[in-house]
Structure 1
Amino acid sequence: MAHQTTTIRTLILALSLVAGSACAREPSGALPKLKLDPSRVAVVGLSSGAYMATQAQLAYPDVFPNAAIVAGGPYGCAGGKLDVALSTCMKGAPLPDVAALVASARQRAAAGDIGPLADLAHSHVYLLHGDGDSVVAPAVAEAGAQFYRQLREATPALAGMQVVDDGARHFAHNLPVAAKGDDCDKSVSPYLGHCGFDAAGEIFSQMFGQPSGKPEVAKGELLSFDQDALRPDGADAFLASRGYLYLPPACAAGKPCGLVVALHGCKQNADAIGETFVKDAGFNRWADAYGVAVLYPQTRASFAPLNPQACWDWWGYSGTDYDTRHGVQLRWLVNAVRALGLPAKQ
């Protein structure tokens, strides 16, 4: 029993994979309908959110043509095994077998378990990590970039896919923000490193090109909404009851609008750090400049299934199909984007 207790404690500690305006209006129960441009939709994630972003793009490339991966590894890395997630996919011991993961992704696409890879023909993929990351080893993040490059090389339809590997910057396991401080080389709550590098601005630039302006403050509205209303077929997606949406003035006025789905890391959900990630990660002011709404889904912590740090599911706690088109959290994300007005693919 003592050995079991120690093992459980070790797993709980190891599961600390993190990345990382006025109060939000109370939930209305429904997301607003926007005039979404399908080509200007991106999924962005930090740490466990980065793994989830890769899963979302591969499972539903028609919904998420663009992705920014911050401190995450290759698609399919864990293979549904927690011990592999904690070793290979975090520490790089041993390193992920990128060639095998690419072959598996191609097989899963052919079987329909993930989306048609041809839907990524014009996608943008931006991979960012710091050389001081001791949580997700830089070599694992580099394997994530290699995955996309090898997938492009192995799939003729993806010749036009743009892959940018930004791995030479100095920061720890966090999302860098524009302000400077003493936590850039630390991985401490709320996992927003004051590095003097505006990662959010770079992500928007990589996803959508250069902006028309550079706002100093966000002028839109932060809304909260009922996440339970979007459960796929009523199934529990292991999310919090409330999520957030930042709505720029242009989107609120009914103009054509892009969308960024921003996925926090473990211990970075609202229950853990309040609205810090939602307000201070840097996305909202850039959203104004680009005319892009930002959706901030929120996970919840649990011990059954074992997810005490409120991570996104990238190893299988929500079911064996967690990283496929049948995964409950991925289906929830698609429901949310559809609810915001993204038309179904014809």
Structure 2
Amino acid sequence: MKRNWMTMKMSMVAAFAALAGHAATAAVPLPALGANAAEVSVSGLSAGGFMAVQLHVAYSATFKRGAGVVAGGPYYCAEGSIVNATGRCMTHYTSIPVSTLVSTTNSWASAGTIDPVSNLANSKVYLYSGTSDNTVVQAVMNDLKTYYQSFVPTANTFYKNNIGSGHAMITDDYGSSCSTTASPYINNCGFDLAGDILQYLYGTLSARNNGTLSGTFTEFNQAEFVSGHGMAATGWIYVPQSCSSTSCRVHVVLHGCKQNYTDIGDKYVRNTGYNRWADTNSIILIYPQTSTAATNSCFDWWGYDNANYAKKSGPQMAAIKAMVDRVTSGSTGGGSGGGSTLAAPTGVGTSGATSSSMVIGWNAVSGAASYNVYRSGSKVNASAVTGTTYTDTGLAASTTYSWSVTAVDPSNVEGAMSTAATGTTLAASGGGTTPVCYTASNYAHTTAGRATQTGGYTYAKGSNQNMGLWNTFVTTTLKQTGTNYYVIGTC
């Protein structure tokens, strides 16, 4: 059996390498590579650093090895507010309520909206802050260290804060001068930060490859994991050649604001130093990408896209988790507190549409204790679904939605997310509400009760669709499709 699996995996890697040759013209599907699910970690800079913390905390059963955070801050630091994000979480002009954030973390873990915090005790955390970084000042990173002390043993935390770097990812041989804070936000400080992060998270590693890389660097189809929500249609992955014959580790690398592929080309994915360490140490690197539709091309760490941005149901969070699930598909990595190896449910479909509800069905997954259902990236079931159907209610009439399903094992750990199924609700009939449209400023919509505002952004009442900034200058047309239910659109 082991030989058959290894032969199959070698074939998959070879096929992926062949497809990679066409990446310039068409992105390829992200492959199932049988990577080691017990050896997954994440790191990121700035917005990517905040996102790395979110993934590490919310999906602690997945990112078991831990996180590297460069110029980030405590989990849920912004608490859904752009004012908090740009204030206390960056300049520290007011104090960060670390104890409150710790309490929120514990509360959400108890509610199951994030993984159990007990998983964090077995992981490692690497923190970095430059002394010349005036964008995310060191006081914020100090608070992140304090936050982690509630969950991660001191012996498992390392904080480097004695290099005069600006707001940037730093290397030992590429980029702008060390104290600079300017695009592409990669600075040459004579220090190999990527290597230091990986060696701390994984222990002693083989020397990096300073020559030609042996593996395959490929653009993959990111849209199959998320459509919109500030994420690009494609991402990047580096697969070392050794992964054709061994079960590789996985490290997710998250760029900062104004650093996605559209903004700076391949500078971040090729020149930050990760690939040459991955090449000699059997580490698969996943580089998720935001789109320029995202605010400043940032990952969502304050709620610009979704109110559940920091939870497992956050659209960007769930998408990156699904990418890891795909790459580790077939893995037997586990251990105490290990991640689930449950397959993604198949046969997901919709039926029984009404003007306000839809039935979602799927095939049973062997070993599953229950299931979770996600609509457009947000979990909709309040309690565990033990059958293979779920009726989603409170929907808008004549509206198309997308649903995905995950299986949950007896330890309450989710498996891989299914492919999405779409369905359209029926038009409102005699008992429903005839659609009526209102065009007004976002401020006027909130005062009229058609929308709510959180953290400086406006959300349509009922559907919770993001309407943009909360002010008198942004104008939106809302369509009322039910009692106290509005969607962005026209009549």
TM-score (normalised: structure 1):
0.85
- Equivalent in the alignment of 1:255: 246
Deviation at 1:114, TM superposition (A): 1.2
1:50-61 equivalences under 5 Å are 50-61=49-60
String of CA shifts for 1:115-159, please: whole Å, max 9, x gaps: 10112231011111101101001101111111101x13xxxxx55
Structure 1 match to 2:178: 184
Per-residue deviation at 1:318? Answer: 1.4
Q: CA deviation at 1:39?
A: 2.4
Paired with 1:338 and 1:121, the residues of 2 have a C-alpha distance of 22
Cα distance in 2 between the residues matched to 1:144 and 1:97: 11
Find the aligned partners of 1:180 and 1:222 in 2 and give their Cα distance. 19
Q: Residues 325 and 290 (structure 1 numbering): CA distance in 2 closer, same or farther, change over 3 Å?
A: same
The residue that corresponds to 1:4 in the other structure is none
Q: Which residue does 2:3 correspond to in 1? A: none
- Alignment deviations for residues 248-304 of structure 1 (CA, whole Å, 9 cap, x no partner): 1111x13110011000000000000001111101100000121101001100122xx
2:281 — aligned with what?
290
Report the equivalent of 1:226: 221
Distance 1:84 1:30, change over 3 A: same
User: Does 2:317 match 1:330?
Assistant: yes
Residues 295 and 304 of structure 2 are in contact (CA less than 8 Å); yes or no, is this contact kept in structure 1? no
Q: Equivalent of 2:208, from 176, 189, 214?
A: 214
Q: Distance in 2 between matches of 1:160 and 1:254?
A: 36
1:54–1:75 CA contact under 8 A, matched in 2 = yes
Shift of 1:182: 5.3
SS at match of 1:309: helix
Structure with the higher helix share, 1 or 2: 1
Which of 311, 315, 318 is 2:302 aligned to? 315
CA distance in 1, matches of 2:326, 2:237: 12
Deviations 1:161-207 (A, max 9, x none): 71111122221100111117752101111111011001111011011
Is 2:89 aligned against 1:89?
A: yes
How far has the Cα of 1:82 moved from its partner?
Answer: 0.4
Provide the C-alpha distance between the structure 1 equivalents of 2:231 and 2:92, rounded to a whole number of angstroms.
29
Partner amino acid for 2:198? F
Aligned twin of 2:229: 237
Structure with bigger strand share is: 2
Check conservation: 1:34, 1:254, Cα contact below 8 A.
no
- Deviations along 1:68-96, one digit per CA (max 9) or x if unpaired, are 00000100100000011010101001021
Q: TM-score, normalised by structure 2?
A: 0.61
Match of 2:267 in 1: 276
> How much has 1:308 moved relative to structure 2?
3.8
Query: Is contact 1:26-1:223 (8 Å) kept?
Result: no
Contact persistence 1:122–1:160 (CA under 8 A): no
CA contact (8 A) 1:24 1:223 kept: yes
Amino acid at match of 1:185: S
The one-letter code matched in structure 2 to 1:54 is V
Quickly say closer, same or farther: Cα 1:140–1:206, change in 2 above 3 A: same
**Does the alignment pair 1:127 with 2:127?**
yes
- AA in 2 matched with 1:239: M
Asked if the contact 1:301–1:308 (Cα under 8 Å) also holds between the matched residues in 2, the reply is: yes
- Determine which of 196, 199, 207 is the counterpart of 1:205: 199
Cα contact 1:26–1:224 (8 A) shared by 2? no
Give, in whole Å, the separation in 2 of the partners of 1:212 and 1:266. Answer: 31
Residue 12 of structure 1 aligns with which residue? none
Residue 213 of structure 1 deviates from its aligned partner by 2.8
- Per-residue displacement from partner, 1:298-330 (whole Å, max 9, x unpaired)? 00122xxxx441100000011110000110000
Return the alpha-carbon distance in structure 2 between the equivalents of residues 184 and 159 of structure 1: 32
Cα offsets for 1:15-69 (capped at 9, x unmatched): xxxxxxx995554441122121122111111000000010011111111121100
Alignment coverage as a number of residue pairs: 311
Residues 241 and 181 of structure 1: CA distance in aligned 2, closer, same or farther (over 3 Å): closer
In structure 1, what residue type is equivalent to 2:326?
A
Q: Which runs of 5+ in 1 are unaligned?
A: 1-21, 153-157
**Structure 1 residues 175, 181: closer, same or farther in 2, change over 3 A?**
closer
Deviates further, 118-127 or 330-339: 118-127
1:44·1:53 contact (CA, 8 Å) conserved in 2?
Answer: yes
Q: Once structures 1 and 2 are overlaid, which stretch shifts more, 278-287 or 96-105?
A: 96-105
More relative contact order, 1 or 2 (CA 8 Å, 6+ apart): 1
**2:41 aligned partner, one-letter code:** A
180-189 or 35-44, which deviates more: 180-189
**Aligned residues of 2:37 and 2:328 also touching (Cα < 8 A):** no
Letter in 2 for 1:33: A
Residue 397 of structure 2 corresponds to: none
Secondary structure of 1:42 counterpart: strand
Give the 3-state SS of the residue equivalent to 2:134 in structure 1: coil
Distance in 1 (alpha carbons) for counterparts of 2:205 and 2:67? 18
| 2:156 equivalent among 140, 162, 170 | 162
Separation in structure 2 between the aligned mates of residue 242 and residue 319 of structure 1, nearest angstrom: 21
Alignment of 1:35-50 (within 5 A): 35-50=34-49
The structure with the largest alpha-carbon Rg is 2
State the distance in 2 between where 1:91 and 1:73 align: 11
Give the aligned residue type for 1:34. L
Native 8 Å contact 1:262 1:294 kept in 2: yes
Which amino acid is 2:228 matched to? D
Unaligned runs of 5+ in 2: 1-20, 332-338, 341-408, 410-491
Q: For residues 129 and 23 of structure 1, do their structure 2 counterparts lie closer, same or farther at Cα, with a shift above 3 Å needed?
A: farther
Report % sequence identity.
33
Alignment pair present for 1:107 and 2:107: yes
